[in-house]
């Protein structure tokens, strides 16, 4: 079966533009920047206060990476956990509700092109939101001397982790025509894979390792420390791939039933 990147990109750009024809993108981006701006200001103020206190007592203090970058991007991942369901809930659910999914099913595009195109549209919006936060590290470089490595890997890890949320959202959006249900299920699934390793302390060593491996946030820890481990990258890409594969299966089943 042929896979046309041109058709896939057409779907992605079309859906990406659709976000900005409704209030969804503006509300999500505005809320995201408002919360992140407050967190950046709070972390920066707290870091400066701590640095002054350490200097008074002759201490070295914490680095910018540990005092600002790690908590800032760690909180950003939590915010995306809440915001991504609003981004993905309409992707297929709205198509099913408006019955326009039938046109997509009969159009000269494959299910794979459709699914990847929808996924990319939401991933592009997440990427846009991340680009809008570049002035935070810019401020740090102007007034300080932060390590570039942790900033770069934090952005990469946050984008990959958010894309895991997106693939989950695409999957649940394909299962229902109710956008609220799709959004709620996406949030619940994201939270589950975030907290799944909490149970590792009460299980045996084998299950403990499995639960730690399945935890989304566990694989982000290396990124936050400036470490780029291929194991973490492969896990995120595999998680995304599975989400898109299951979405393809759901749509294929829907096509045969309709």
Of 117, 110, 91, nearest to 22 (Cα)?
91
Whose tokens are 């297929």? That residue is 92
Taking the C-alpha atoms of 58, 63, 64 and 67 in order, what is their torsion angle to the nearest 10 degrees?
A: -90
| Residues 170 and 118: beta-carbon distance below 8 Å | yes
Token pair belonging to 223: 């990124």
Stated pTM of the model: 0.90
Distance of CA 94 to the CA centre of its chain: 21
H-type alpha helices, the chain = 5-19, 23-56, 64, 70-88, 93-97, 101-106, 111-131, 135-143, 148-173, 179-195, 205-214, 221-224, 230-257
Residue 58 — left, alpha, or beta (φ > 0 → left; ψ -120 to 50 → alpha)? left
How many angstroms separate the CA atoms of 86 and 162, rounded? 13
* Full residue range of the structural domain in which residue 194 is found: 5-257
- Owner of token pair 């024809």: 21
Of 166, 167, 173, 171, the closest CA to residue 96 belongs to: 173
d(C-alpha 139, C-alpha 161), whole Å: 25
pLDDT, tens digit, for every residue of 217-248?
889 999 988 889 999 999 999 999 999 999 99
3-state class (DSSP) for residue 127: helix
DSSP for residue 1: -
CA gap 156, 131 in Å, rounded: 12
pLDDT at site 5? 82
CB 151 within 8 A of CB 206: no
pLDDT tens per residue across all 258 residues of the chain = 456 788 889 889 999 998 998 888 899 999 999 999 998 888 888 777 776 666 666 556 567 777 778 888 999 999 999 999 999 998 888 877 777 777 777 777 888 888 999 999 999 999 999 999 998 888 888 877 788 888 999 999 999 999 999 999 999 999 988 899 999 999 999 999 888 877 666 666 667 778 888 889 889 999 988 889 999 999 999 999 999 999 999 888 877 765
Q: What is the number of domains present in the chain? A: 1
Query: Diameter of the chain by CA atoms?
Result: 73
Sign of the four-CA dihedral 63, 69, 71, 74: negative
194-224: b or e for each residue (b if 16 or more CB lie within 10 Å)?
bebbeebeeeeeeeeeebeebbbbbbbebbb
Q: What is the pLDDT of residue 85?
A: 95
């Amino acid at each position: 079966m042929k896979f046309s990147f041109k058709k896939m990109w057409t779907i992605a750009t079309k859906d990406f533009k659709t976000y900005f024809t409704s209030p969804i993108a503006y509300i999500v981006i505005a809320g995201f920047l408002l919360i992140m701006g407050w967190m950046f200001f709070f972390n920066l103020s707290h870091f400066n206060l701590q640095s002054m206190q350490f200097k008074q007592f002759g201490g070295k203090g914490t680095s910018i990476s540990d005092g600002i970058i790690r908590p800032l991007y760690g909180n950003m991942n939590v915010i995306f956990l809440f915001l991504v369901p609003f981004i993905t809930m309409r992707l297929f659910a709205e198509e099913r509700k408006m019955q326009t999914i039938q046109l997509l099913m009969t159009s000269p595009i494959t299910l794979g092109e459709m699914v990847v195109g929808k996924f990319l549209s939401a991933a592009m919006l997440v990427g846009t939101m991340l680009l809008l936060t570049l002035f935070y590290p810019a401020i740090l470089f102007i007034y300080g001397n932060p390590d570039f490595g942790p900033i770069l890997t934090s952005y990469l890890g946050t984008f990959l982790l958010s894309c895991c949320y997106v693939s989950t959202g695409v999957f649940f959006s394909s299962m229902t025509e109710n956008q609220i249900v799709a959004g709620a299920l996406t949030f619940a699934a994201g939270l589950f894979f975030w907290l799944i390793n909490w149970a590792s302390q009460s299980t045996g060593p084998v299950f403990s390792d499995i639960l730690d491996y399945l935890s989304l946030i566990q694989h982000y820890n290396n990124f936050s420390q400036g470490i780029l481990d291929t194991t973490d990258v492969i896990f995120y890409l595999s998680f995304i791939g599975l989400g898109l594969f299951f979405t393809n299966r759901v749509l294929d089943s829907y096509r045969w039933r309709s």
